[in-house]
Structure 1
Amino acid sequence: MDFQPIRTKKIYQEIIDQIKGLIAKGSLKPGDKLMSERELAEKMQVGRSAVREAFRALEAMKVIEIRPGEGTYIREASADSIADALSLVLQADQKTASELMELRKILEVECARLAAKRRSGRDLTAMKKALEQMAKDIENGDLGDRADLAFHYSVAKAASNTMVLRLMTTIADTMMHVMRTARVELYRDPKLPHKLLQEHLIIYQAIANSDSEAAQKAMYDHLQGIESAVFNKKNQSS
């Protein structure tokens, strides 16, 4: 058996991992102020030198901004800085993100097929409202991740399966985070936002037309395209 030597992780790396983990969960957001070096050292029961080293590394990664005389902040959500910060999540926990995309294909492709058969007028209205918001977000230069999640949730709701809807609700926070990370990566290409919107419109139209096969295919193509674009790009850059 090919066992590997056990190496103790350096304290500053543990601090970095915890801060990145809080960003991944959404507990820390761009603009949030971190504790001071002294406070964080006391909270984590480590030396201030370890916290200082972690802060320097995180600043180099563009995750935090150290403002002399003011404090340390999670970097603001400018297009480039948030892309660098959020891409850390894929680096830190790519397996979770990849498995979530697999789960989405398992759930949502079938949801789209069922939605085409079972959707109500109210369901279509909810989907259309989400698409309209997504279009507005794109025009305003926003990520549109909330509208994206609202659309996919409305498709799941239209499938009229309470167990599936409950599962979608359970993973909603993780989905939101992965969607945001994926959109940051994908939106570096200025053509992608409109392409993604068009893919959602195709899914909507198939459901509105009660075309279950077309809805199923459109949802699969959409999710497969996102997965390929994000993780192929990630692998090429690593």
Structure 2
Amino acid sequence: MEFKTIHRNTTPIMIVEQFLKSLESGQLVQGQQLPPERELARMFGVGRSSVREAIGILVVMGYLEVLQGKGTFIRRSSAGTNYKAIPLENLISLLPLFDLLEAREILELKAVQLAAERANDQDLAKMRRTIRKLEESGGDTEKFYTADGEFHAAIADATDNAMICHILKSLVRQIHRFNVKFMFTSEEAMQQTITTAKAITSFIAQGEGDRAQNWMYRHLNEVDGSLKNMVAERKKRGERLSLSLWAEEIETPSQRP
């Protein structure tokens, strides 16, 4: 396996592009295990954080899967599925829901760290406006998740990374649509979310990426925690449901074979 060393303005998207070229040429094949992050970083001539971010992007796109304790592998796509031909929004709805939640967490934690390094006054003002919308949601679940989605979009914008913005916004939209339709969010949970959103914004404004990252982890578990627990239980039973399949199961159980 060979990769060209990246010399100019290294970004994760350039790593993604090289990976996709290697996949198209047949140099990489389904089921193949990738070298460890440290080795990939050496091969590309970049830092491990850039490799880690690129892997997160490729996981979301459906090309890679990370198996705990085993490593990172080229995903074996289902028969007849051409992931490259599927628009991102549609692709996300086809992927296993637990995988999407994990991918979102990877991207969100990186995004908030980048936002702490790059956010300007306009970005911070946008975050604060969305927090006011959260406060004004008045217990309305749809308004709450719409405002929460705008908060995450503001953080994505503050990364100044077009690929992270595109993928993260698509992920958040799909997951929030599911939450609005099927999940109950208590008033207490909404208040906790507002508190953590304020803390995240404050630490981003202070440039404290690590502390903002810790609060983002807490924020994600408050907003998506119940959903993640539910999906984890179904995953233990060997069920790998996508957003679209699960929505169909809940909406029309009598129509399923």
TM-score range, shorter chain: 0.5 to 0.7
Match for 2:108: what amino acid? E
Query: Which secondary structure does the structure 2 equivalent of 1:160 belong to?
Result: coil
In the TM superposition, 1:208-219 aligns within 5 A as: 208-219=205-216
The Cα offsets for residues 185-217 of structure 1, whole Å up to 9 and x where unpaired, read as: 2x2x33111111111111111111111111111
Relative to structure 1, is the Cα distance of residues 215 and 146 closer, same or farther in structure 2, using a 3 angstrom cutoff? same
Match for 2:161: what amino acid? N
Query: Which secondary structure does the structure 2 equivalent of 1:150 belong to?
Result: helix
Query: Which secondary structure does the structure 2 equivalent of 1:123 belong to?
Result: helix
Distance 2:194 2:159 in 1: 21
- 2:140 counterpart residue number: 141
- 1:175 counterpart residue number: 175
- 1:98 counterpart residue number: 98
Contact map agreement 2:130 2:151 (CA 8 A) in 1: yes
Distance 2:97 2:133 in 1: 25
Distance 2:115 2:189 in 1: 26
Distance 1:169 1:114 in 2: 16
Contact map agreement 2:108 2:168 (CA 8 A) in 1: no
The Cα offsets for residues 36-61 of structure 1, whole Å up to 9 and x where unpaired, read as: xxxxxxxxxxxxxxxxxxxxxxxxxx
Relative to structure 1, is the Cα distance of residues 170 and 208 closer, same or farther in structure 2, using a 3 angstrom cutoff? same
Distance 1:131 1:156 in 2: 15
Distance 1:172 1:224 in 2: 14
Distance 2:124 2:106 in 1: 22
Unpaired runs of 5+ residues, structure 1, are 1-92
Measure how far apart 1:176 and its partner are. Answer: 3.1
Contact map agreement 1:203 1:218 (CA 8 A) in 2: yes
Choose 1 or 2 for highest CA Rg. Answer: 1
- 2:203 counterpart residue number: 206
Contact map agreement 1:145 1:176 (CA 8 A) in 2: yes
Measure how far apart 1:95 and its partner are. Answer: 7.2
Contact map agreement 2:123 2:158 (CA 8 A) in 1: yes
Distance 2:216 2:161 in 1: 18
Query: Which secondary structure does the structure 2 equivalent of 1:232 belong to?
Result: helix
Distance 2:169 2:214 in 1: 23
Query: Which secondary structure does the structure 1 equivalent of 2:227 belong to?
Result: helix
The Cα offsets for residues 201-237 of structure 1, whole Å up to 9 and x where unpaired, read as: 111111111111111111122213444433435749x
Distance 2:179 2:229 in 1: 16
The Cα offsets for residues 125-167 of structure 1, whole Å up to 9 and x where unpaired, read as: 1101100011000x25344111100000100110111111122
Match for 1:208: what amino acid? A
Unpaired runs of 5+ residues, structure 2, are 1-92, 238-257
**What is the Cα-based RMSD across aligned positions, in Å?**
2.7
Tell me the percent identity: 22
Alignment partner of 1:224 is 2:221: yes
In the TM superposition, 1:29-108 aligns within 5 A as: 96-108=96-108
How many correspondences in the alignment? Answer: 141
Relative to structure 1, is the Cα distance of residues 212 and 193 closer, same or farther in structure 2, using a 3 angstrom cutoff? same
Distance 2:178 2:97 in 1: 6
Distance 1:220 1:199 in 2: 10
Alignment TM-score, normalising by the size of structure 2? 0.49
